[in-house]
Amino acid sequence: MENIIVAAALTKSFGPTQALDGLDLTVRAGEVHGFLGPNGAGKSTTIRILLGLLQADAGHVEMLGGDPWRDATTLHRRLAYVPGDVTLWPNLSGGEVIDLLGRLRGGLDPKRKADLLERFDLDPRKKGRTYSKGNRQKVALVAALSSDVELLLLDEPTSGLDPLMEEVFTTCIEEERQRGRTVLLSSHILAEVERLCDRVTIIRNGASVETGTLAELRHLTRTSISAELASPPNGLAQLGGVHDLRVDGTRVRFEVDSNQLGPVLRQLTTLGVRSLTSQPPTLEELFLRHYQDELTGSQPQGASR
């Protein structure tokens, strides 16, 4: 499958701040790619480099078969961008901004614009300074979605949208995927990512820490198990992939890496199971693990804790 975005070992610093530190990102044609990471991880910086607004200090970056810095204007005809912070011109109406941005990109579909305005419930006649944050976001979204482009670069496009509008956004992106467009979606909202994204890249401190399909990432998550056994849980602690084991007589509670689930269950059955509850793995857990390492400052963790 053709790659739309290939970034390898990107570095970028702003004075003393190392914003990107060896970032890798690959986005394939036709996929919706989730781009996740805690605040300040470098998501917006990466997207700005892809837009040729910033120049990477080192590393290789290619988008739509061109160099984002050198071929900026030609590449920009084929993509649309929704910034994380949308600021509008105070004296232009939302409708004017949508039309202007669309035309500067090389044209927009008026039918699709009208349709999106209605679905997002946006009044295009208001002046820029009178829009609320969510409505400013909608102006940028409608401008991007009504353009006929191959690639959408969306930087936290739903920040500020209410749940109803988030739903509308999700439907719109699903439609975009069906049309074969490629989407890079930076987000903090896991439900959105789980629903929309084919593949995900998680970054931290300017470097990628996980990348893969959701199914692949699920392997990195853990299932929580609590069980009542027929005999004391001997040998359980020695099995690979078991964490946080708590034993209370014949009752056990622990977490197990999803790819180690089989051997652990076999061991449990040999011990004799009276009752068992398991909690399925959630991506949230995985993300939280990566987000929290940020706070504690420790290294990313694979299987060990």
Partner 1 sequence: MNALVGTGGLIRLILRRDRFILPAWIVLLAVIPVSYVSGIEELYPTAAGRAQYAATSGTNPTFLALYGPLHSTSVGGLVAQRAGFLPLIVGLIALLTVIRHTRGEEEAGRRELLGSTVVGRHAGLAAALIVTMTATLVLGLLSGLVLTSGGLPASGAFTLTLSWTFAGWVFAAVAGVAAQLTEGAGAARGIALGVLGLAFVLRVAGDVGGTGNELSWLSWLSPIGWAHGIQAFGGERWWVLVLSAALAAVLIAVATAVSARRDVGAGILAARLGPADAAPGLRSPFALAWRLHRGLLMSWTAGFVALGLIFGGVADGVGDMVEDNPQLQEIFARMGGRGGLIDLYLAGIMGILGLIASAYAIQAALRLRSEEANLRAEPLLATAVGRLRWAGSHLVFSVLGPVVALLAAGATAGLVHGLNAGDVGEQLPRALGAALVQLPAVWVLTGIAVALFGLLPRVAAASWGAFALFLFLGQVGAVLGLDQWMLDVSPFTHIPKVPGGAVTAEPLLWLLAVTLVLMLAGLVGFRRRDAAVG
Ligand X SMILES: Nc1ncnc2c1ncn2[C@@H]1O[C@H](COP(=O)(O)OP(=O)(O)OP(=O)(O)O)[C@@H](O)[C@H]1O
Interface residues toward ligand X, by CB under 6 A: 14, 17, 19, 37, 39-45, 84
Which one among 43, 105, 222, 289 touches partner 1, defined by CB under 8 A?
A: 105
Tokens representing residue 247 in the block: 């034993």
Which one among 112, 126, 218, 219 touches partner 1, defined by CB under 8 A?
A: 126
Which one among 36, 88, 209, 220 touches partner 1, defined by CB under 8 A?
A: 88
Binding to partner 1, residues 35-54 (CB under 8 A): 48, 51-54
Report which DSSP code applies to 66: B
**Region for 37 from its dihedrals, namely left if φ exceeds 0, alpha if ψ lies in -120 to 50, beta otherwise:** left
Which one among 130, 234, 278, 292 touches partner 1, defined by CB under 8 A?
A: 130
- Through-space distance between the first and last CA atoms of the chain, rounded to whole angstroms: 36
Q: Which does 141 bind (CB under 5 to 8 A by kind): ligand X, Mg ion, partner 1, none?
A: none
Interface segment toward partner 1; rule CB under 8 A; list 94-102, 199-207, 209-217, 220-228 = 94-102
Which one among 20, 44, 56, 116 touches Mg ion, defined by CB under 5 A?
A: 44
> What is the rounded distance in angstroms from the CA atom of residue 14 to the CA atom of residue 182?
29
Report which DSSP code applies to 93: B
> What is the rounded distance in angstroms from the CA atom of residue 88 to the CA atom of residue 131?
9
Q: Which residue lies nearer to Mg ion by CB, 39 or 304?
A: 39
Binding to partner 1, residues 147-176 (CB under 8 A): 153
Query: Is the distance from CB of 222 to CB of 285 less than 8 angstroms?
Result: yes
Strand ranges, E, within the chain:
3-14, 17-28, 32-36, 58-63, 79-82, 151-155, 182-186, 199-204, 207-213, 222-229, 242-248, 251-257, 273-279
The residue ranges that bind partner 1 (CB under 8 A) are: 48, 51-55, 72-74, 76-77, 79-81, 83, 85-93, 95-101, 103-106, 124-127, 129-130, 140, 143, 153
Which positions lie near Mg ion, rule CB under 5 A?
44, 84
